[in-house]
Amino acid sequence: MPAGKPLSPEQRRIAHSCATEAPFSGPWLHEKRAGLYSCAACGAPLFRSESKYDSGSGWPSFFDQISPDALGQRQDDSLGMLRTEIHCKACGAHMGHLFADGPAPTGLRYCVNGSVLDFTPD
C-alpha cells in the first residue's frame, strides 16, 4: 500500500487486515451533504454522495462506485461464508464488501467501513 496520511490504529486494522468496524459506529453513516467519499489511506475518489443510501445495515452504503475502476474485488470466504470483498484499486486498502441486494439502478450494495473513508463536501 503506498504511503499516504497517517492512519489511526482502527483505520490500519481495517485497511490492512480486512477488519470491520462495529455496525453503527463509524463516521459518515448519517452524512447527508453532497460531496465526495475518498480512500482515507491514499485519497483516491471512490463514491459520490448521489449514490449513497440508508441500507439499514449500520455501515455507509452506496449503489455505485465513482468510476468502474475505482474499486477492486476479490473473493472472501472468511467467517464461513462466500462474499465479495472490495478494496481501493489505487492502494489496496480494504473498504468492505459488495452485495447484490441494493436498490435500482444497479441492484448493488457497496457496504463500506466508514472509518476508511474521508468525506469532502461540495
Specify the pLDDT at position 78.
79
Amino acid at 72: G
Q: Which residues 6+ apart lie within 8 Å of 4 measured at CB?
A: 40, 41, 42, 43, 91
pLDDT at 1: 42
The contacts of residue 102 (CB under 8 Å, 6+ apart) are 53, 55, 61, 63, 108, 109, 110
The predicted structure's pLDDT at residue 2: 45
Predicted local distance difference test score (pLDDT) of residue 6: 87
**Phi, psi at residue 12, to the nearest 5°?**
-65, -40
Q: Taking the chain (122 residues) in consecutive chunks of 10 residues, what is each chunk's mean pLDDT? A: 72 94 95 97 97 97 97 86 93 96 97 97 96
pLDDT at 80: 75
pTM: predicted TM-score of the whole model, two decimal places: 0.92
How would you class 22 by CB atoms within 10 Å of its CB: exposed for 0-12, middle for 13-18, buried for 19 or more? exposed
Which domains are seen in the chain, by residue range? 9-121 (2.170.150.20)
For 17, the grid coordinates are: 487486515
Catalytic residue set: 111
